[in-house]
Amino acid sequence: MIIGVTSLAGEIYVLRWKGHGEIKVYDVTTDRLQRVLPVPNAQRLTDMTSCEHPFCVYISDHAAESVHRLDIQGVATRWKVNDQPWSLSVNGSHNLLVTCPQVRKIKEFSSSGAILREVQLPADVVNPSHALQLTTGQFIVCHGRDDATVKRVCMISEDGRETLHSHAGQPGSSQNHVPRRLGVDNHGFVFVADIGNRQVTLLSPTLEFVRDVVSSDKLKGQPRRLCLDIQNRQLYVADVESSGGNFTSGRVVVFRI
């Protein structure tokens, strides 16, 4: 099972779960394995992201209600979230955003782990899976589990009180639409990993459907994680297969964008 994929300083970090946390670091050009970083005292890891200021990766630990931080040499620290974190992103101020589904909150932390603020999401945003913050201050949030009645991508105001735009899938496929992870480019276009339809779609800055970026025939399983490398114009997709309710294998597929 691939839990996270992110890029940092010309390298790709891939987080797998095999009873313990293990990050494999690959060269972005050659795809060769460079080193393996353990995540000390990991309990149940759920996501990973990176930040260039400072050079580090963050890993969310659902069971421990905490975030692990590893620098590029593998030196690890950890801080408490005091809720169960599910997914991570870094905003334009280089602060860490932690999505906590059970309490429907986005928590913002400094790079050293100081809590800066908490954003309470609207009541109809149930089980948020991932959140990103735009340069304009608004949030892009995907929410809704597999069996939920409402599953969509939303643009939320900076204070978290108002839903400005939303997208709930294309006609004919919306019943399967399960957005799980997001990416945003420099122009505000949104990449959505849809595990229900097994594809990655592109939405406009106002969350209107533009096109499919990755179709289901390019994947063996479901696109569980995304990493959008804008500088190198590449999209990394964690393609995860399952059988009988259990995850069986995973790979990272690279697409030019």
**Tens digits of residue pLDDT in 14-54:** 998 776 788 999 998 898 999 999 999 999 999 999 999 89
Within-domain flag for 244: yes
Q: How far is CA 46 from the centre of its chain?
A: 9
Within-domain flag for 30: no
The DSSP secondary-structure symbol of 218 reads G
DSSP 131-149: EEE-TTS-EEEEE--TT-S
d(Cα 116, Cα 128) in Å, to the nearest integer?
20
**Tens digits of residue pLDDT in 68-79:** 999 988 899 999
The residue written with tokens 């005091």 in the block is: 82
d(Cα 87, Cα 100) in Å, to the nearest integer?
8
pLDDT, residue 174, reads 47
Q: How many structural domains is the chain composed of?
A: 1
The residue written with tokens 């809590």 in the block is: 115
pLDDT, residue 49, reads 98
For residue 187 the two structure tokens come to 């122009």
Cα separations in angstroms, 64 against 18, 43, 120, 139:
17, 6, 22, 26
3-state secondary structure of 53: coil
Within-domain flag for 220: yes
Range of the domain at 252: 55-256
**Which residue type does 147 have?**
D
Within-domain flag for 46: no
The percent of residues above 90 in pLDDT, for the chain, comes to 82
Beta bridge partners of 164: none
pLDDT < 70 regions, the chain: 19, 170-175
Q: What is the CATH number of the domain that holds 196?
A: 2.130.10.10
pLDDT, residue 88, reads 98
Q: Could you check whether the bond before residue 205 is cis, i.e. omega within 30 degrees of 0? A: no
What is the value of pTM for the model shown? 0.94
3-state secondary structure of 28: coil
Within-domain flag for 176: yes
Within-domain flag for 105: yes
Within-domain flag for 20: no
Taking only Cα atoms into account, the Rg of the chain, rounded to an integer number of angstroms, comes to 17
Establish how many alpha carbons lie within 13 A of residue 146's alpha carbon, considering only the half-sphere containing its beta carbon: 7
Within-domain flag for 37: no
pLDDT, residue 80, reads 97
